[in-house]
Structure 1
Amino acid sequence: MRRSSSTVVVVAGEQAGRVVSGLDGLHNVRAVTRQDRTPEEFAELVRRGGMTYIVHDDDPLADVADAWVDFFEESSPAGRLEVAVEEAVGALRAGRLELPDYYIVLDPEEMPATRRHWWLGVLAGAAPSRVVPAPSSAARVADALGRLAAGRWWPEDTAGWLRGLPRAVPDRVGLPGGTVP
């Protein structure tokens, strides 16, 4: 898959679709929501870019995030997290899945604890400047877009990082002993 020349930003959270729609029309921002598009149609739309920022609401790691949360809340069948991880690894290798440049996470303080640890622990621990919390407001997200900082990219060994997620313990991620390398 050819990577977009635009800066790709995923807006995540309960109000993501509404907030992304509210960004439509901003200078240098193409705001798109997944809606009823197929994954292939949506990926092509994002790849085409055409603006400085492509902002959307389709988290490529959503299945992994849900499985990780359920794994630690003990509310999923055995193996669900491992299956979600292997599907993501396969999609990354095949070019069907691409990690965004940034995540803007809406209202993380209002999320259940384990979900909040996914965003501000697991993902932010992997690439601290790539995960930005913001209120559920198009104006505040637009402001956050203007303040995105460069920083470490996602782990080079993305497959190894994803496969280590069952050892990335909520409340411990980022602390000594919080994950097993």
Structure 2
Amino acid sequence: MRSPGSTVVVLVGAVTDDIVRALGRLPNVQAVRLTGDDTDGAPSVRELLGSASRPFLVHDLDPLQNVAAAWIAFFADPSTRGVLRIEIESALTAFAAGEAVLPDYYLVLDPEHLEPAESQWWLGVLAAVAPSRVIPVEPRTAAVQRALGALPTGRAWPDPAGWLRELHLQVPDRAGLL
């Protein structure tokens, strides 16, 4: 259900309504806030992807947010490995059904102020899977606009089934290291 003409970018971290609104005013960006307090009536990701008509589709609904939370929880308490497995399989099912899509890029806003485990998720685990697809950015509108205009090329995300099912082997503080 993905719009072939749009580059999908998910904003994570210190996302604000002001940044999303400012991006939405750009002529080549469709920006939508899908999380937070004022999202009643927001389209589903599937609807959003099907109707995307601009070169960039930017939103803040991370399709891996539950997997990330489960991975972080697993290393705080290894007895939660079953929860991690369930979240991984749920994400893979959503990808297969077209209910969610792994974005082309993640822009991680204000990475210096993330909790250490979150930082390991974004800048360790995900960045190791596809280094050019996870980009740290200052939490300012101008910085996010510059990042959108300078997205690097690189290999696409590998099949998520392979690397997601290996997440239990990615240890914080060593995530992404060979």
Q: TM-score surpassing 0.5?
A: yes
Q: Which moved more, 1:46-55 or 1:67-76?
A: 67-76
| Amino acid across the alignment from 1:23 | L
Aligned to 2:102: 99
CA distance in structure 1 between the partners assigned to 2:18 and 2:68 by the alignment = 21
- Does 2:152 correspond to 1:149? yes
Identical amino acids, percent of aligned pairs: 48
- Does 2:92 correspond to 1:85? no
* Change in CA separation of 1:8 and 1:128 when aligned onto 2, cut-off 3 Å: same
CA distance in structure 2 between the partners assigned to 1:123 and 1:52 by the alignment = 24
- Does 2:27 correspond to 1:24? no
CA contact (8 A) 1:11 1:56 kept: yes
Residue deviations 1:28-65 (CA, integer Å, cap 9, x gap): 01111112246x63321233111111111111111111
Secondary structure at the aligned position of 1:100 is classed as: coil
Aligned to 2:40: 36
- TM-score, length-scaled by structure 1: 0.88
CA distance in structure 2 between the partners assigned to 1:48 and 1:66 by the alignment = 30
* Change in CA separation of 1:31 and 1:86 when aligned onto 2, cut-off 3 Å: same
| Amino acid across the alignment from 2:69 | D
Aligned to 2:172: 170
In structure 2, the gaps of 5 or more residues are none
The CA RMSD over aligned residues, in Å, is 1.9
- TM-score, length-scaled by structure 2: 0.89
CA contact (8 A) 2:3 2:49 kept: no
| Amino acid across the alignment from 1:123 | L
CA contact (8 A) 2:20 2:31 kept: yes
In structure 1, the gaps of 5 or more residues are 177-181
Size of the alignment, in residue pairs? Answer: 174
CA distance in structure 2 between the partners assigned to 1:103 and 1:44 by the alignment = 20
> Deviation at 1:4?
4.1
* Change in CA separation of 1:26 and 1:102 when aligned onto 2, cut-off 3 Å: same
CA contact (8 A) 1:4 1:47 kept: no
